[in-house]
Structure 1
Amino acid sequence: MVKVRQPAEDALPSNVEWTNEQPEKPPRFNTELRIAIDGYYSESHDVITSDGYILEINRIPNPRFKIGPIRPRSKPVVFLMHGLQSSALAFVAAGPRLSIAYILADAGYDVWMGNARGIINSRRHIWLNPDDEKERIKFFDYTFEDVATKDLPTMINYILRITQQQQLNYIGHSQGGTAFLVLNSMMPAYNQKFISAHLLAGVGHQTYFPSDVLSIAAESTDLIFTVAVNTGSVELLGPNNNNNDDIAVEVAANALGCKGELDKFASIFCKVKAAMDVMRGVLAPLETVAGASIKQYAHFGQNIRDKAFRRWNYNPLKNLWLYGNINPPNYDITLITADITMHYTVGDTLLHENDVLNMAAVIPNAKARRVARDSFSHFDFVIASDSRELVTDYIVEKLNEVNKQPM
């Protein structure tokens, strides 16, 4: 299904006619309305993954104030993929002057933005109801590997078919970078589908993970995950939970006092509360925070704890049955042959410079690029007032080179 939305009336120049009515403000998370209010024509496309998730892809095919669809193969394609607890809205939330999606559209690119399973308008499934007490356990049973090997192929193949292109350019922020690394290491044939890739704080190796508080919480990641699933708390910051899971952790941690000697089960609440406090601080600058599966966090937690970049760790027996080894295998990033630029910052609290440099050293066609401002943070890639001059302008320049676009 394809839905089209025209720019909002007050965003259009006086010489452009307008016929459709628009509300004064967009509801929270409505990417289509946000794009329209900012003066851009957009489309939203629904696709279905091999395991039944219905995903929305948002498209901005034209520069600002230009209305109407475009011919296939008339423009190079750029696909943007958001990070954990985020959505396509991250790439437009900073407005026309700063948002990378708008800048790319104005530069002559056909811009597509993915929405991973479980968030916003991708919180849908053919037969599972994410709000049903029993079915939600199965619905949210996924990690970043599922996003990488099921969501990305579905969206990428669809975009290439609609645009009648053989290749596209990829930009992934945070988990969007993680998914790119996993996809192209587990399904190497996909390397041929990318002209270039820019990973913005793309998380992979976790040997030097910089946050001590989150590292401590990661030590109990398996226990945290087990307790969460057994209590039905499988979605974090979804649209309907009203932060009930946060409140439960706060009450438990306050009751325990989080001081002195605590048994293993009791101390888990203190560790989770400390980790939640850190993540609240990290996510605070974002205009919107989308939902996520607790298993996504648990998978990152396992990698932080094990100082690795590898597949989901079940238990030794199930690992042996599924993987042929009692330990889960590492993602073989040496199989990634796409042209990659890994943008990073030394001010990142979720990704260490050494991990980026070590990944770039073993990925055949990868190079690392350090952002010039040392205080640049993990989410500054999509929200900072100087993100255009420090990151986006460089990306546009390099995209113009490899796509042979006029400068």
Structure 2
Amino acid sequence: MAASNILIILIFNFFTVYALKKSINVLLPEDGRLNFTQLATKYGHPAIEYEVITEDGYILKLFHIPGTKDRPVLLVHGTFESADTWIIRGNLSQAVALANSGYDLWFGNLRGNKYSRNHVSLNPDDDDAFWNFSLQEYGFYDLPAIIDIVLNKTGAEMLNAIGYSQGNTIFYVLCSTRPEYNSKINVLIALAPICYLQNVPPPLSTLIQLSPQLYKLAIDLDITEIGYDNSLLNAYIKFICTRAKIGYDICIQSLAFPITGYDSEELKPDFVPVLVGHFPTSVSTKDLYHLAQIGFRKTFAQFDYGSAGNIKKYNSTLPPVYNLNLVTTKIVLYVGLNDFLATVADVAILRLQLPNVVRYILSPRLKCNHIDHVNGEHVNDYVFPYIRDVLESY
């Protein structure tokens, strides 16, 4: 899943206060326990690991599944996720489908997640400064560092990109704040494209409106990270969500689907134990609040520190607005009619502001929700054909 899970994580996180690092033993299926490289090997496409160091010192993990096609393809995950999201469906996953088709695949991991929880000088367990980032830093620092190493290793002049949820948002940040990177991206395939969040339905809209109070509470409790793999929060999620039918009813039907859109045909109980073996992984509280700010301010802008903080940071009482006119790379928008998070209405706002949308695709699966774009059981029937067509056409 992706940004759609803000409500789920906050409910669990505040319930458990945040800080207890215990372990509740849960027996996960093999694919819920294996990491990315182990899954890649199991499903016939061994991966190579690289480390990427950003300008501001974060150490990111990058996975590479070599292919025969010349132009590399970079895949970027959403919120609370890692590169695992592209492969946890095994032979039904988009990673395996793309690899079987010969594409040269590179899987990014953004700062703070379980593979990129490192820094040249900051300790994520002890230094709150490690978690002082949001989608601005993902786009301004992480993406260019990842793109540069992919192009350097392959010798290619441009790459193709596939983003999911917030994994698209940060490309808009990159290309508007460092417009020279537009020429390094041939086409971005934006699955469930998050940018504006002003038309999401309840309960997420309610959470967005309450986010200033929730963020203040988090700051008061010194909660800078949410979703750490070894936290009691994660242990509770695994324990509850793997409880056969009751776990599915609580975690998916009652918590996930009201945020993402309902589609029990594509996310069935037997896959949930695999899913929770990889989700959630760490994200900064600041990033979640930045997304919420975009929702309640109805403006795609940098982080809002308040008038005094903005003057100190930006020399202006308001944060700078991202200029989407500068995002000139080719973009394909793939939208789910039943997506409660990347709503058709919000994507329509985005579409009008992007100058080079070459295709707008409404999923042929009318029930396609936010989760289905990457983790639907039959994702290779209603998403992958469009991905392959775009990659071959551009």
TM-score category, normalised to shorter length: 0.7 to 0.9
Q: Does the 8 A contact of 2:31 with 2:88 survive in 1?
A: no
Q: Does the 8 A contact of 1:348 with 1:377 survive in 2?
A: yes
Per the alignment, residue 99 of structure 2 pairs with: 105
Partners of 1:246 and 1:130 lie apart in 2 by: 22
Per the alignment, residue 347 of structure 1 pairs with: 338
Q: Does the 8 A contact of 2:304 with 2:318 survive in 1?
A: yes
Per the alignment, residue 327 of structure 1 pairs with: 318
- In the alignment, is residue 216 of structure 1 matched against residue 206 of structure 2? yes
- In the alignment, is residue 47 of structure 1 matched against residue 52 of structure 2? yes
Q: 1:308 aligns with which of 299, 318, 322?
A: 299
Per the alignment, residue 392 of structure 2 pairs with: 400
> Are residues 244 and 99 of structure 1, via their aligned partners in 2, closer, same or farther at CA, if it must alter by over 3 Å?
closer
* Identity level (%): 31
Question: SS state of the match for residue 56, structure 1?
Answer: strand
Higher mean Cα deviation, 152-161 or 357-366? 357-366
Between structures 1 and 2, the one with greater helix share: 2
The runs of at least 4 consecutive aligned structure 1 residues that moved more than 6 Å come to: 244-247
Aligned-pair distance for 1:219?
A: 2.1
Aligned-pair distance for 1:279?
A: 5.0
Per the alignment, residue 168 of structure 2 pairs with: 177
Question: SS state of the match for residue 205, structure 2?
Answer: helix
Q: Does the 8 A contact of 1:26 with 1:33 survive in 2?
A: no
Per the alignment, residue 376 of structure 1 pairs with: 368
Question: SS state of the match for residue 132, structure 2?
Answer: coil
Deviation readout 1:159-179 (Å, 9 max, x if unpaired): 100001110000000010111
- The 5 Å alignment of 1:127-206 reads 127-132=121-126, 135=127, 137-206=128-197
Structure 2 unmatched runs, 5+: 1-28, 238-253, 261-266
Higher mean Cα deviation, 181-190 or 318-327? 318-327
Deviation readout 1:348-400 (Å, 9 max, x if unpaired): 12121122122112211113211112211101011112211211111112211
Partners of 1:175 and 1:86 lie apart in 2 by: 10
Q: Does the 8 A contact of 2:39 with 2:90 survive in 1?
A: no
Q: Which one has more relative contact order, counting CA pairs under 8 Å at least 6 apart? A: 2
For residue 234 of structure 1, what is the amino acid of its counterpart?
Answer: T
Partners of 2:31 and 2:294 lie apart in 1 by: 38
Q: Does the 8 A contact of 1:188 with 1:336 survive in 2?
A: yes
Q: Does the 8 A contact of 1:29 with 1:89 survive in 2?
A: no
Aligned-pair distance for 1:27?
A: 7.1
Under a length normalisation based on structure 2, what TM-score does the superposition of the two structures give?
0.80
Deviation readout 1:73-122 (Å, 9 max, x if unpaired): x62200000000111001111112x2112222221211000000111111
Aligned-pair distance for 1:29?
A: 5.9
- In the alignment, is residue 85 of structure 1 matched against residue 80 of structure 2? yes
Structure 1 unmatched runs, 5+: 1-23, 63-69, 248-276, 403-407
- Counting matched residue pairs gives 336
- What is the Cα-based RMSD across aligned positions, in Å? 2.3
